A and B are shown apart, each in its own frame.
Chain A
Amino acid sequence: MRWLQDPILDVQHLTMRFGGLVAINDLSFKAGRGDITALIGPNGAGKTTVFNCITGFYKPTEGMIALRKPDGSHLLLERLPGYDINWKAKVARTFQNIRLFSGMTVLENLLVAQHNPLMIASGFTFLGVLGLGRYRDAEKEAIERAKFWLEKTRLTHRADDPAGDLPYGDQRRLEIARAMCTDPLLLCLDEPAAGLNPRESLELNELLLSIRKDHGTSILLIEHDMSVVMEISDHVVVLDYGTKISDGTPAQVRDDPKVIAAYLGVDDSEVEQVEAEIGA
Chain B
Amino acid sequence: MNAPSITTSSARSPAVPTRFDLAAALKDSAKSALIAFGLSIPIVAYRTDQSGADLFLNPRWDMVAIFCAIVFGLRLAQHAFMASRAAREAVPSPTQATELVHAEPSAFQKASRFGIPFFLGVALAFPILIYLIQGGLNESRYWVDLGILILTYVMLGWGLNIVVGLAGLLDLGYVAFYAVGAYSYALLSTTFGLSFWICLPLAGILAAFWGIVLGFPVLRLRGDYLAIVTLAFGEIIRLVLINWVDLTNGGAGISSIPRATFFGIPFTAGEGGFADTFGLEFNGMHRMIFLYYLILALALLTNFVTMRLRKLPVGRAWEALREDEIACRSLGINTTNTKLTAFAIGAMFGGFAGSFFAVRQGFISPESFNFLESAIILAIVVMGGMGSQIGVAIAAIVLVGGPEVLRNLTFLQAVFGSGFDPNEYRLLLFGAGMVAMMVWRPRGLISERQPSVILKERKAISGSLVKEGHG
> Residues on A close to B: CB < 8 A?
55-57, 81-87, 92-93, 95, 99-105, 107-108, 111-113, 115-116, 118-119, 122, 125, 128-129, 131, 135, 139, 143, 147, 156, 159-162, 164-167, 178-179, 182
Contact = CB atoms under 8 A, between A and B. Distances in A.
Interface in B436-461: 449, 451-459, 461
Given A83-B332, A147-B455, A160-B459, A125 B320 contact: no
Nearest to B325: A99
A159 B455 contact: yes
Contact of B312 (A57, A107, A129, A161): A129
Contacts of B454: 105, 107, 160
25 contacts: A83-B329, A83-B334, A95-B327, A95-B330, A99-B324, A102-B324, A102-B465, A103-B323, A103-B465, A105-B461, A107-B451, A107-B454, A107-B455, A108-B319, A115-B332, A115-B333, A119-B313, A125-B312, A128-B308, A160-B456, A161-B459, A164-B94, A164-B98, A165-B465, A179-B330
B14 to A, nearest CB: 23
A62 to B, nearest CB: 23
Nearest to B316: A112
* A-B interface, 9 closest residue pairs, ranked by CB to CB distance from nearest: A103-B466, A86-B332, A87-B332, A101-B323, A164-B465, A99-B327, A159-B455, A118-B313, A162-B461
A103 B101 contact: no
B331 interface: yes
A118 B323 CA distance: 20
Contacts of A156: 455
Contacts of B70: none
A111 B327 contact: no
A102 B331 CA distance: 15
A103 B449 contact: yes
A162 B329 contact: no
Contacts of A95: 326-327, 330
B317 interface: yes
Interface string B342-367: 00000000000000000000000000
Given A108-B451, A112-B320, A160-B451, A135 B312 contact: yes
In this complex, the member of A81, A86, A105, A128 whose beta carbon has the largest number of chain B beta carbons within 10 angstroms is A105
B152 interface: no
Interface in B387-406: none
A159 to B, nearest CB: 4
A170 to B, nearest CB: 9
Contacts of A57: 326, 329-330
A86 B449 contact: no
A92 B330 contact: yes
A128 B329 contact: no
Contacts of A164: 94, 98, 465
B462 interface: yes
B435 interface: no
Contact of A125 (B309, B332, B458): B309
Nearest to A94: B330
Nearest to A114: B313
A128 B308 CA distance: 8
A166 B94 CA distance: 11
B457 A100 contact: no
Given A101-B323, A119-B313, A119-B314, A86 B451 contact: no
A111 B316 contact: yes
Contacts of A56: 329
A236 to B, nearest CB: 24
Nearest to B313: A118
A139 B403 CA distance: 46
A57 B319 CA distance: 21
A165 B452 contact: no
A102 B327 contact: no
Contacts of A86: 329-332
A251 B327 CA distance: 35
B335 interface: yes
Contact of A104 (B309, B323, B326, B457): B323
Contacts of B449: 103-104
A185 to B, nearest CB: 13
Contact of B329 (A82, A119, A122, A167): A82
A160 B455 contact: yes
B232 interface: no
Contact of B461 (A82, A85, A93, A103): A103
Contact of A93 (B322, B330, B456): B330
Contact of B462 (A99, A118, A162): A162
A139 B316 CA distance: 12
B19 to A, nearest CB: 19
Contact of B453 (A101, A111, A131, A161): A111
Given A100-B327, A103-B465, A165-B94, A116 B456 contact: no
B347 to A, nearest CB: 16
A113 B314 CA distance: 12
In this complex, the member of B320, B335, B459 whose beta carbon has the largest number of chain A beta carbons within 10 angstroms is B320
Contact of A160 (B1, B330, B458): B458
A56 B332 CA distance: 11
A112 B328 contact: yes
Contacts of B432: none
Given A100-B327, A105-B451, A162-B459, 6 more contacts: A86-B329, A103-B461, A108-B452, A116-B333, A160-B457, A182-B332
Contacts of A93: 330
B34 interface: no
In this complex, the member of A84, A147, A160 whose beta carbon has the largest number of chain B beta carbons within 10 angstroms is A160
A167 B323 contact: no
B467 interface: yes
Contact of B333 (A83, A129, A131, A159): A83
B18 interface: no
B341 interface: yes
Contact of A116 (B98, B101, B322, B332): B332
A100 B324 contact: yes
B316 A122 contact: no
A108 B459 CA distance: 13
B332 A107 contact: no
A128 B314 CA distance: 10
Contact of A102 (B1, B316, B323, B328): B323
B467 A103 contact: yes
Contacts of B327: 95, 99-101
Contacts of A113: 331
A93 B308 CA distance: 30
In this complex, the member of A56, A104, A156, A160 whose beta carbon has the largest number of chain B beta carbons within 10 angstroms is A104
B459 to A, nearest CB: 5
B124 interface: no
B99 interface: yes
Interface in B232-286: none
